A and B are shown apart, each in its own frame.
Chain A
Amino acid sequence: MSTELERAVTETVTEEELEALIGDRALARDDHKNAPGFVVRPDDVQDVLLDLREEAGFDHLSCVTAQQYEDRYESIYHLKKYADPTQEVSVVVPTSVDDPVSQTAEPVFRSADWAEREAFDLVGIDYEGHPDPRRILLPETWQGHPLSLDYDQEKPQIVTLTEHANPIQPDHRDEESDTMFLNIGPHHPATHGVLHVKTVLDGETVADVDPDIGYLHRSEEQMCQQGTYRHQIMPYPDRWDYVSAGILNEWAYARTAEDLADLEVPEYAQVIRTMSAELSRIASHMLALGTFALDVYGDFTAIFQYTFRDREIVQDILEDLTGQRLMFNYFRLGGVAWDLPEPREEFFAKVRDFLDDLPAKVAEYNDLVTSNEIFQIRCVDTGILEPEVAKQYGCTGPVARGSGIDYDLRRDDPYGYYPNLEWNVVTEDGCDNYSRVLVRMQEVEESAKIIEQCIDLLEEWPEDERNIQSNVPRTLKPDADTETYRAVEAAKGELGIYIRSDGTDKPGRFKIRSPSFHNLSALEEMTKGEYIPDLVASLGSLDIVLGEVDR
C-alpha cells in the first residue's frame, strides 16, 4: 500500500445527496470550512446520525465540540469516514441557554460516551439518555462548568480523596458475588502517568474497568483560547503529547490555523516539517516500546535503556534543529522558525548516521522483544480489539492499524510533503497487543524512509529557494464566525483541532480532539473478562499519554 497506489475508491456522497438524506430535519445550513454543516433539532440527533452512518457511510465520529454563545449552547458532531477521511460532515445541534438539553449520540457511536461527558463537564450541556452522565475531567464535586460563559474561576472548590481507600478493606469486597474492588493508580508505575483505573476483579479476572481520568487536566483549551494565533498558542501543543511528539502536535495547530486564515506554506518548509515530524514519531514510538517492555516483563535494564539511548540520539538531532530537547516550539504559522543548522553537511551527516544505524537496531529490538517467547505469551491474543469495536470507539493511529483498519491521515487526507514521498501505511490484523507493538516497530522503519527522502531533497535544494516562512500578517484576525476542524496523524493517532474565530486575534473556541482520549475509552472492551496482568499489557499497548488524554 504505497502512497502511490490509490486506496479502494469509496463512493463520494455529494452535498445534494446529504441534503436529501437529512431532508427537513435540517433546520438550516451552517457550513464549516472543512465540511458542510447541518443544523438539527436536539431531539433528532440519533436519527440523523444513524442515517448518516447507515446510508451515507459516515462511520467515524471524530470529535464532539461543545460551546456556548450568548444566546445558545451548541454541540457539533464532526463525522468522517474511515474509508475516506476527506469526506466530512458536521451536525450542529443548538440548545437554549436556560435548558441546555440535547439527545445523546451514544447509542449510535460509542465514542460519544466520553466525548459528551467531557462536553457536559466543561461546557455544561446535558445529554438526555446518556448512560453515564458524570463529570469526566474535573472532580465530581466541582461547581460550575469552566468553559461556559458565566464561570467564575475565582470561586473556591472542594476536592475529595475518597477513592484512596485500601482495597483490602471489607467494603471493597462484595459479600454476595465474591468480587473485589481494586484501585490502580493514580500513582502507579504501570499507568504511564497519573491515570486511575477502577477495577472490579472476580478472582484474577477483570469483571469491570472504569478509567478515571482528569488528574492532569491542565485547562489546555482555556489556555489556547487566551493566546493569540500568531505566537502564543504554538507552545501549548508541545505539551499535549509530551513524549517528544511535540512537532506532530504543532502541526495539528499549524494546519488548522493555516486553513482558517488561508495561509500558504513554502515547499521547502513543508519538507523540513515532514522530516522533523517523522523524527518526533520515531522518538515517540521508541518510548512506547521501552515502556511497554517495562510493563510486560519489567525490563528496566536492557530494552528500556536501549530505547532511551536511541531517543537521546533523536533528541540531539531535534535539538540541533529546533534548539530544545523536548518542547520544540519550532513551527510557525506559514512555515518553520528557522532553517537547518549550519554547517548543513554536519547536520545531514548526523541524521544519516542515525538512519544507517537504525536497521541494525530495529533488528536487535526484534530479537529482544517481538521474537521473545515470554513477550509473545504475554501479548499474542491478549487485549483483543475487533475492528468494528475500534471504529465505534473512534480509535485511530497504531491502535486502529493494529486492528487492521487501514487509516492514516498522512495518506488519506494528505498534508505536508507526504504525498510526494514513497512510504507505506503499516497495518496488522491480529487485533491484539502484539499487533499494536508490531505496527509501531514497522512505522519506525517507514518514518526512517521518509526522513531519508527528505534529507535527499534538502541536500539538493537550491540555496536561493530556501524559503522557510511565507508572509504572514503580524496579527492574525480571521473573519468572525469562521469555523474549521482539521486533523493530522500524530504519534498516537488522529489529532484534530476545531477553531471558531470570533473576529479577534484569539480563538473564540478551541477544541482539541485527542487520539489517546478515544483510544483509552476502548480499554474496557479490550480487558473485560481477561486476566488482570493483561490489563496492564493492554494499557501499555494503547500507548496513551496523559497530557493528551486530559489536556
Chain B
Amino acid sequence: MSNEPRQQIYDSTAPSTDTRESRMGEGVDDRFNSKLREAFGASPFILTKFDNFMNWVRGSSMFMLQFGIACCSIEMIHSYAIKHDLDRFGAGVPRASPRQADVMIVPGTIVSKFGPRMKRVYDQMPEPKFVVGMGSCTISGGPFQQGYNVVKGAEEIIPVDIHVPGCPPRPEALIYGVAKLQERIANGESSPVVVKPYELEEFGDLPRDELVQKLADQIDEDDLVMRYNWADSP
C-alpha cells in the first residue's frame, strides 16, 4: 500500500497535518502519528489495489483459534495474557470455533491419535487461513521425535506459514512470529500448500495391503482414516 503522500498535492514530502491538528486541537498524542494517519493527511482518499488493501486488512486483524495442545500452549496463553498482550498487534482475540478463526497457532506435540483431528479442525477454518507452528514439536517432533506415536512436525499434516523454534518459545518469540506472519500476509505471501504424507482418506480408498486387510472387519469402508507411517517421516 502506498504510504507516501501524493506529490502532486504537496510541495514537500512531509505529510500535512493541518486537518489532524484542527481536529485534535492542541497536544496531539504521539500515538496518532501512525503511518496511516500520515498517509491520509489532509486528503481522505487513498489509492491502492483492492487486493493490497484486503491483505493489509487481513494482516491487521487476525482471529486466532483457541487451540491448546501441549506445553507450548501455556506460553501461548501467556502471550495472550497480561504483560505480553498479543492483542496489541491486532491478533489477540482467540476464537473457540474454527469457523470464526483465520490463524491457527499449533502449540505442541502432535501424536498419531490427534493428527486426524487437527487436520479436521484445519479444514473447518474458512479460507484464507494461516498457520503458525509453535515450538520444536511442530517442526520435527522436538524432544519426542523418537516416540512410537509422535508425528514428526505439523507440516506433515497441514501447511505451516511460520515456524517459531524453541521448547517452548518465549512469548516474545511467538509474538515476533505472529508479527512476521502479519508482514507476510500484508505482502500477499503465504506458504504454498505442499503435498503432505498424512491425508485423511476413506478407508475403502486405501491400497489393500496386509494392514488394511487385517482391519477390514473393524473399520467401515467410508470411515475417514489417516495412515501413520513412522519410518517414512523425515
Q: B-contacting residues of A (Cβ < 8 Å)?
A: 138-141, 143, 146, 151, 153-162, 164, 186-189, 192-194, 214-220, 222-223, 226, 235-236, 238-239, 242-244, 287, 304-306, 308-309, 311-312, 315, 325-327, 546-547
- The chain B residue sitting closest to A550, CB to CB, is B111
Q: Which of B52-93 contact A (CB under 8 A)?
A: 66-71, 73-75, 77-78, 81-83
Cβ distance A507 to chain B, nearest Cβ, rounded Å: 15
Q: Which of these, A187, A188, A223, A309, contacts B147 with CB under 8 Å?
A: A223
Which of A146, A306, A325 has the most chain B CB atoms inside 10 A of its CB? A325
Q: Which of these, B75, B147, B219, contacts A326 with CB under 8 Å?
A: B75
In the assembled complex, which residues on chain B have CB atoms less than 8 Å from the CB atom of A547? 70-71
- With contact pairs A305-B82, A547-B70 given, residues A159 and B144 touching in the complex (Cβ less than 8 Å): no
Q: What are 26 residue pairs bridging A and B, where the CB atoms are less than 8 Å apart in the complex? A: A138-B113, A139-B112, A146-B148, A153-B231, A156-B227, A158-B215, A160-B219, A162-B220, A164-B120, A189-B66, A192-B68, A216-B69, A216-B114, A217-B111, A217-B149, A218-B109, A222-B148, A223-B144, A235-B143, A242-B71, A243-B74, A244-B74, A305-B81, A308-B82, A309-B83, A326-B74
In the assembled complex, which residues on chain A have CB atoms less than 8 Å from the CB atom of B212? 158
In the assembled complex, which residues on chain A have CB atoms less than 8 Å from the CB atom of B147? 218-219, 222-223
- With contact pairs A156-B228, A217-B111, A218-B150 given, residues A326 and B218 touching in the complex (Cβ less than 8 Å): no
Q: Are A141 and B146 in contact, CB atoms less than 8 angstroms apart? A: no
Residue B224, interface by CB 8 Å = yes
- The chain B residue sitting closest to A151, CB to CB, is B148
- The chain A residue sitting closest to B78, CB to CB, is A308
Q: Which of these, A153, A157, A312, contacts B83 with CB under 8 Å?
A: A312
Cβ distance A365 to chain B, nearest Cβ, rounded Å: 15
Cβ distance A377 to chain B, nearest Cβ, rounded Å: 24
Cβ distance A407 to chain B, nearest Cβ, rounded Å: 27
Q: Are A160 and B116 in contact, CB atoms less than 8 angstroms apart? A: yes
Q: Which of these, A141, A161, A194, A220, contacts B120 with CB under 8 Å?
A: A161
Cβ distance B75 to chain A, nearest Cβ, rounded Å: 6
Q: Which of these, A161, A222, A238, A546, contacts B226 with CB under 8 Å?
A: A161
Q: Are A161 and B114 in contact, CB atoms less than 8 angstroms apart? A: no
Q: How large is the interface on B (under 10, 10 to 19, 20 to 34, 35 or more residues)?
A: 35 or more
Cβ distance B209 to chain A, nearest Cβ, rounded Å: 8
Q: Are B170 and A325 in contact, CB atoms less than 8 angstroms apart? A: yes
- The chain A residue sitting closest to B209, CB to CB, is A156
Q: Are A158 and B226 in contact, CB atoms less than 8 angstroms apart? A: yes
Q: Are B228 and A158 in contact, CB atoms less than 8 angstroms apart? A: yes
Q: Are B167 and A312 in contact, CB atoms less than 8 angstroms apart? A: no
Residue B200, interface by CB 8 Å = yes
Q: Which of these, B75, B146, B214, contacts A223 with CB under 8 Å?
A: B146
In the assembled complex, which residues on chain A have CB atoms less than 8 Å from the CB atom of B227? 156-159
In the assembled complex, which residues on chain B have CB atoms less than 8 Å from the CB atom of A192? 68
- The chain B residue sitting closest to A146, CB to CB, is B148
Q: Are B108 and A326 in contact, CB atoms less than 8 angstroms apart? A: no
- The chain A residue sitting closest to B69, CB to CB, is A194
CA A326 to CA B166, docked complex, whole Å: 11
Cβ distance A55 to chain B, nearest Cβ, rounded Å: 41
Q: Which of these, A156, A159, A216, A308, contacts B81 with CB under 8 Å?
A: A308
In the assembled complex, which residues on chain A have CB atoms less than 8 Å from the CB atom of B121? 187
In the assembled complex, which residues on chain A have CB atoms less than 8 Å from the CB atom of B218? 140-141
Q: Are A311 and B224 in contact, CB atoms less than 8 angstroms apart? A: no
In the assembled complex, which residues on chain B have CB atoms less than 8 Å from the CB atom of A242? 70-71, 74
Q: Which of these, A216, A222, A306, A327, contacts B109 with CB under 8 Å?
A: A216
- The chain B residue sitting closest to A214, CB to CB, is B113
Cβ distance B79 to chain A, nearest Cβ, rounded Å: 10
- The chain B residue sitting closest to A235, CB to CB, is B143
Q: Are A141 and B215 in contact, CB atoms less than 8 angstroms apart? A: yes
Which of A146, A159, A214 has the most chain B CB atoms inside 10 A of its CB? A159
Residue B11, interface by CB 8 Å = no
Q: Are B113 and A215 in contact, CB atoms less than 8 angstroms apart? A: yes
Residue B117, interface by CB 8 Å = yes
In the assembled complex, which residues on chain B have CB atoms less than 8 Å from the CB atom of A153? 148, 230-231
Q: Are B96 and A186 in contact, CB atoms less than 8 angstroms apart? A: no
Which of A138, A160, A308, A312 has the most chain B CB atoms inside 10 A of its CB? A160
- With contact pairs A159-B113, A161-B225, A325-B170 given, residues A218 and B69 touching in the complex (Cβ less than 8 Å): no
Q: Are A308 and B168 in contact, CB atoms less than 8 angstroms apart? A: no
In the assembled complex, which residues on chain A have CB atoms less than 8 Å from the CB atom of B82? 305-306, 308-309, 312
In the assembled complex, which residues on chain B have CB atoms less than 8 Å from the CB atom of A154? 230-231
Q: Which of B164-197 contact A (CB under 8 A)?
A: 167-168, 170
In the assembled complex, which residues on chain A have CB atoms less than 8 Å from the CB atom of B224? 160-162, 164
Q: Which of these, A146, A194, A218, A546, contacts B144 with CB under 8 Å?
A: A218
Residue B153, interface by CB 8 Å = no
Q: Are A159 and B112 in contact, CB atoms less than 8 angstroms apart? A: yes
Q: Are B116 and A215 in contact, CB atoms less than 8 angstroms apart? A: no
CA A158 to CA B220, docked complex, whole Å: 13
In the assembled complex, which residues on chain A have CB atoms less than 8 Å from the CB atom of B78? 308, 311-312, 315
- The chain A residue sitting closest to B115, CB to CB, is A159
In the assembled complex, which residues on chain A have CB atoms less than 8 Å from the CB atom of B225? 141, 158-161
Residue B29, interface by CB 8 Å = no
Q: Are B223 and A327 in contact, CB atoms less than 8 angstroms apart? A: no
Q: Are A216 and B228 in contact, CB atoms less than 8 angstroms apart? A: no
Cβ distance B225 to chain A, nearest Cβ, rounded Å: 5
In the assembled complex, which residues on chain B have CB atoms less than 8 Å from the CB atom of A223? 143-144, 146-147
Residue B206, interface by CB 8 Å = yes
In the assembled complex, which residues on chain A have CB atoms less than 8 Å from the CB atom of B113? 138-139, 159, 214-215, 217
Residue B2, interface by CB 8 Å = no
Cβ distance A536 to chain B, nearest Cβ, rounded Å: 13
Q: Are A308 and B211 in contact, CB atoms less than 8 angstroms apart? A: no
In the assembled complex, which residues on chain A have CB atoms less than 8 Å from the CB atom of B146? 219, 222-223, 226
Residue B43, interface by CB 8 Å = no
In the assembled complex, which residues on chain B have CB atoms less than 8 Å from the CB atom of A189? 66, 96
CA A327 to CA B82, docked complex, whole Å: 21
- The chain A residue sitting closest to B98, CB to CB, is A187
- The chain B residue sitting closest to A316, CB to CB, is B83
In the assembled complex, which residues on chain B have CB atoms less than 8 Å from the CB atom of A155? 211, 230-231
In the assembled complex, which residues on chain A have CB atoms less than 8 Å from the CB atom of B74? 242-244, 287, 326
Residue B3, interface by CB 8 Å = no
